[in-house]
Chain A
Amino acid sequence: MGGSILGERVLRKEDPKFLTSGGKYVDDLLDEPLLQGALHVTYARSTVAHGRINSIDTSEAAGMPGVVAIFTAADLGLQPVPSSFNPAAARTLLASDKVRYVGEPIAAIISETREQGEDAAEMVFADYDVLPAYTDMMAAMAPDATLIYEACGSNIVFDTTALGIPANTGDDFFKDCEVVVRGEFMNQRVAPCPLEVRGSAVAWADGRLHQWISTQHAQGAHAPVAATNGVDPSQVRILTPDVGGGFGAKIGAYPEELLLGVLSKRVGKPLRWRESRSESMVALGHGRAQFQRVVIGGSRDGKVTHYQLHAFQDSGAFVDMGTILAPFMTRPMSSGVYAIPNIECHTTSVVTNTTPTVAYRGAGRPEATAAIERAMDLFAYEIGKDAAEVRRMNLIPKFMEPHTTVVGQTYDVGDYEESLNRALAAADYAGWRRKQAERRASGNVKQIGIGVSVYVEITGGVGNGEQAKIEILDDGSALVYTGTSPHGQGHATSWAMLASEKTGIPIDRIDLVWGDTDLTPVGSGTMGSRSLQQGGNAVYSVAGTLVEKAKAVAARLLEANEADIVLDTDRAVFHVAGTPAVTKTWADLAVAEKANGGLSHDEYIGVPGATFPFGSHVAVVEVDTETGKVTHIAHTACDDAGRVLNPMLLEGQIHGGVAQGAAQALLEEVAYDGDGNPITSNLADYAFISAAELPSVTVVHMETPTPVNLIGAKGIGESGTIGSTPALQSAVVDAVSHLGVRNIEMPCTPQRVWAAIAAAKK
């Protein structure tokens, strides 16, 4: 794109602020006028995983220093709110009749200082009739299990058979297969752990509720906040400060946030709420938690003909977004990159007495990829062929026209084999196999393992487009209003690049407005890697339309035909073709248009559908066969997300995704004891991955543009996570496969590796 800024490594205009004074996150809004005099909210939480509430005694807490008020569900007259995904599962925002997980909010304490709230929260005493607590889905599904939501009639709260999709057939499905391999895998529960925990602040002013939320989607919170407060949405303004990461867990508004306006009304003061990390570990939604029964079959030469997946999705203690990821994300992507002619996928979602599950980077697609990649590995082991070659034999061949899989998903464009080739070459796969062979021959204590994954995923499946508005100010600078909601992705720079490309206005004179339901009422937020392909696409389109509008104004001012007007983007001026010295600036046009309502354009730009990024990862590990310790020594990622707007930002997303994917494969797991008590509920116990456990990542560029939007871009945000986890798990098993190991459950901790080696020896 000669002379274009698109495709360039533009440094972020956000950075000077973040690096010098720091971001302004919700807990930093100390000078906000509406929040002066704010009191603090602390939530007391259930210490029991499943129980009927007999009473909640707040009397002692109420008398403690600085406590202004304490409210329970009964005090507020809270009515049950049904889940959007299964209306029979209804809960009050503070627990009323039952508690269903450790950490569920049971009372709200309003205090003068945050410390006093913490002190008081310890003195709230609930009396429970303890019920059996289920942390295991199989136990929750047993016929005699105690129901978590009685009105659901079962702890199974969503099943694809209810959508008319038949259950998987039995072994008959594989009767024509020479080779059949079975596996059971736990795609374990993990905690999203954004560095900034949840927080929110509220103030009523002139009858309107102003609420700041650390969220990925202000517009999505608008209606639920209004409903909870019993007011019309026009009486609610949701604002988004800087947000310290979300990863999917900050998409939906949580009870703690929804209640703040109600509490503020009761005490007549603005309120601030911020959870502690320990609270966040049990009350911010969890990710993954999918148990998978897999069968794969085919011929001994390596052709896979049959694949069957039954995914059991742990919903946790509510029916939140986590419940529907298996049927609506895992199942449609269950065939992955492979041309397998016979596929069955059944998903069953089950409530348990654990933290509710939500979307977490990848949201159902890492699970789909992990299942089929593990299955391909098992198949390869069974027939004694190289795992990369077996994949290659079964890939859907390159396609530049839509391709519909047997599961019914239509992919846009794909060139899976090329991504595999590039990744293998860049990783020096052959070289690592040689090193591995040498170490095996010499019986070295430290063995090398190489894992390969090839994946495809779905992005932009949320929202059908996005709103964008661009307004030119009197000084010729521009304001871009977007319906996306950046929390680290760099939209202020990226959307400025797109607008600058069209208008010629320099990037440092283009500012971004987002996440404010008064200023950006329409928007689908930032999630599902949708932002560039829908939000950026809209900015790009609107910028183009604005240029055309501006040309008409310039024509008027220059007394020429519109068709003769040229926009010189290098100088950001309009002139008549052939007369470059006589110009009108964007500022001239904006001032001229003041009487007509200003120079701006505002439009919702739709896209026809989702896009399908794809790629291949190669992970290399070193395994100490005496201790089981795994070291991640190299990682190569070839991720194709279509046209690349800013390679620097793209790489950053891949790096971050790889780290979270590696964390799931090797380190992180949310654990509960037998009574449903969380035992990894702080960052010392939960093995949040650090720089010391990761290698640098070799990123291999590949761009196969999609026709689905103007830019040709897909979403890169989740690819790194989706591709890395299976490659790493595969590498660990590969390191010790010569000792007879075929599978190691994630996270592949040293103890699990050691146990697998010991078991294989027997």
Chain B
Amino acid sequence: MKIQMTVNGVPRENDVEPRTLLVQYIREQLGLTGTNIGCDTSSCGACTVHVNGESVKSCTMLAAQADGTSVTTIEGLAKGDQMHPMQEAFMQNHGLQCGYCTPGMVMAAISLLEENPNPTEEDVRIGLEGNLCRCTGYHNIVQSVLAAAKK
């Protein structure tokens, strides 16, 4: 079936199987491999992107469900050489190690701040309950988000 959506500001039109997940469409058909798959139970959040500006686990959406929407992935955040303030905050605060959870974590964090611009540490920890990381122990991820909130 045919689907159309805007991805990182670029209109796209492709043929997909009904069962194609949005994350597969993004990675395999659009070649945007920044978004990662970390589990099969919607637990880890590595696949988090924005659909119409809201954080969503792209592994728990069919590409067909995203038809007609505007999707933003990690690749769509920076403007040329200028990183998004959240990306910058993660770099300044060592918020990543192996990088696998990072795109999803950054997308989730941006959505978190949009809905709660002045979170407490507890707000951030609970707000990221759907994003798992094995490397950082979350300490610096939390610091990164709090730093971004101050900007």
- Binary per-residue interface labels of chain B (116-151) against chain A in the complex, 1 for a CB within 8 Å, 0 otherwise: 000001001110111111111111111100000000
CB closest chain-B residue, reference A192: B134
Q: Check B100–A12 contact: CB distance below 8 A.
A: no
Q: Which of B28, B37, B94, B125 interacts with A694 by CB under 8 Å?
A: B125
Cα(A53)–Cα(B97), bound, Å: 43
| Least CB distance, A699 to chain B, in whole angstroms | 9
| Least CB distance, B115 to chain A, in whole angstroms | 17
How many residues in A have their beta carbons less than 8 Å from beta carbons of B?
Answer: 58
For residue B11, CB closer than 8 A to chain A, the reply is no
Which residues does chain A contribute within 8 Å of B126, judged by CB atoms? Answer: 691-692
Q: Check B36–A690 contact: CB distance below 8 A.
A: no
Scoring A193, A194, A651, A683 by chain B CB atoms within 10 A of each residue's CB, the highest score goes to A683
Which residues does chain B contribute within 8 Å of A21, judged by CB atoms? Answer: 34, 74-75
Whether A278 touches B99, Cβ cut-off 8 Å, given contacts A694-B125, A696-B142, is no
Q: Check B43–A684 contact: CB distance below 8 A.
A: yes
Q: Check A656–B125 contact: CB distance below 8 A.
A: no
For residue A660, CB closer than 8 A to chain B, the reply is yes
Cα(A28)–Cα(B35), bound, Å: 10
Q: Flag the segment in A243-251, A412-420, A581-589 that touches B.
A: A243-251
Cα(A27)–Cα(B34), bound, Å: 11
Q: Check B102–A696 contact: CB distance below 8 A.
A: no
Q: Which of B33, B75, B106, B140 interacts with A655 by CB under 8 Å?
A: B140
- Binary per-residue interface labels of chain A (372-414) against chain B in the complex, 1 for a CB within 8 Å, 0 otherwise: 0000000000000000000000000000000000000000000
Cα(A567)–Cα(B124), bound, Å: 49
State the majority secondary structure of interface residues on B. Answer: loop
Q: Check A193–B134 contact: CB distance below 8 A.
A: yes
Whether A683 touches B137, Cβ cut-off 8 Å, given contacts A15-B96, A16-B83, A20-B87, is no
Which residues does chain A contribute within 8 Å of B130, judged by CB atoms? Answer: 690
Docked complex: B23-40 residues within 8 A CB-CB of A: 27-28, 31, 33-40
For residue A142, CB closer than 8 A to chain B, the reply is no
Which residues does chain B contribute within 8 Å of A277, judged by CB atoms? Answer: 38-41, 44
- Binary per-residue interface labels of chain A (1-15) against chain B in the complex, 1 for a CB within 8 Å, 0 otherwise: 000000000011011
Q: Check B91–A15 contact: CB distance below 8 A.
A: yes
Which residues does chain B contribute within 8 Å of A692, judged by CB atoms? Answer: 125-126, 128-129
- How many inter-chain contacts with C-beta < 8 Å in the A-B complex? 188
| Least CB distance, B63 to chain A, in whole angstroms | 13
Q: Check B96–A244 contact: CB distance below 8 A.
A: no
Q: Check A682–B41 contact: CB distance below 8 A.
A: yes
Whether A690 touches B128, Cβ cut-off 8 Å, given contacts A195-B38, A682-B41, A684-B41, is yes
Docked complex: A609-658 residues within 8 A CB-CB of B: 648-649, 651-652, 654-658
Whether A244 touches B36, Cβ cut-off 8 Å, given contacts A15-B96, A16-B91, A688-B132, is yes
Cα(A605)–Cα(B138), bound, Å: 35
Q: Check A30–B91 contact: CB distance below 8 A.
A: no
CB closest chain-A residue, reference B38: A195
Which residues does chain B contribute within 8 Å of A15, judged by CB atoms? Answer: 90-91, 96
Q: Check B96–A694 contact: CB distance below 8 A.
A: no
- Binary per-residue interface labels of chain A (408-445) against chain B in the complex, 1 for a CB within 8 Å, 0 otherwise: 00000000000000000000000000000000000000
Q: Check B125–A682 contact: CB distance below 8 A.
A: no
Which residues does chain B contribute within 8 Å of A193, judged by CB atoms? Answer: 134
Q: Check A655–B138 contact: CB distance below 8 A.
A: yes
Whether A244 touches B43, Cβ cut-off 8 Å, given contacts A649-B94, A655-B136, A656-B135, is no
CB closest chain-A residue, reference B101: A195
Docked complex: A1-55 residues within 8 A CB-CB of B: 11-12, 14-16, 18-25, 27-28, 30-31
| Least CB distance, A274 to chain B, in whole angstroms | 9
Q: Check A487–B91 contact: CB distance below 8 A.
A: no
Q: Check A691–B34 contact: CB distance below 8 A.
A: no
For residue A57, CB closer than 8 A to chain B, the reply is no
Q: Check A195–B91 contact: CB distance below 8 A.
A: no
Q: Check A683–B33 contact: CB distance below 8 A.
A: no
Q: Check A488–B97 contact: CB distance below 8 A.
A: yes
Cα(A88)–Cα(B128), bound, Å: 48
Q: Check B138–A691 contact: CB distance below 8 A.
A: yes
| Least CB distance, B144 to chain A, in whole angstroms | 10
Q: Check A696–B139 contact: CB distance below 8 A.
A: yes
For residue A720, CB closer than 8 A to chain B, the reply is yes
Which residues does chain B contribute within 8 Å of A123, judged by CB atoms? Answer: none
For residue B46, CB closer than 8 A to chain A, the reply is yes
- Binary per-residue interface labels of chain A (222-250) against chain B in the complex, 1 for a CB within 8 Å, 0 otherwise: 00000000000000000000111101000
CB closest chain-A residue, reference B106: A19
CB closest chain-B residue, reference A690: B129
Minimum-distance CB pairs A-B, first 5:
A22-B34, A244-B100, A488-B98, A488-B97, A659-B137
Q: List 30 A-B contacts (CB under 8 A).
A: A11-B91, A11-B92, A15-B90, A19-B87, A19-B102, A20-B83, A21-B74, A21-B75, A22-B33, A25-B100, A27-B33, A28-B27, A195-B36, A244-B36, A245-B135, A277-B40, A277-B41, A651-B94, A652-B97, A655-B140, A656-B134, A658-B137, A659-B138, A683-B41, A691-B133, A691-B138, A691-B141, A691-B142, A692-B126, A696-B139
Other than the given A20-B83, A30-B28, 18 more pairs (CB < 8 A) read A18-B99, A19-B91, A19-B99, A27-B37, A30-B33, A195-B44, A197-B38, A242-B98, A244-B98, A245-B98, A490-B97, A660-B134, A684-B41, A688-B44, A691-B128, A691-B131, A691-B141, A720-B137
Give the interface of B toward A (CB within 8 A): 17, 19, 27-28, 31, 33-44, 46, 74-75, 77-78, 83, 87, 90-92, 94, 96-103, 106, 121, 124-126, 128-143
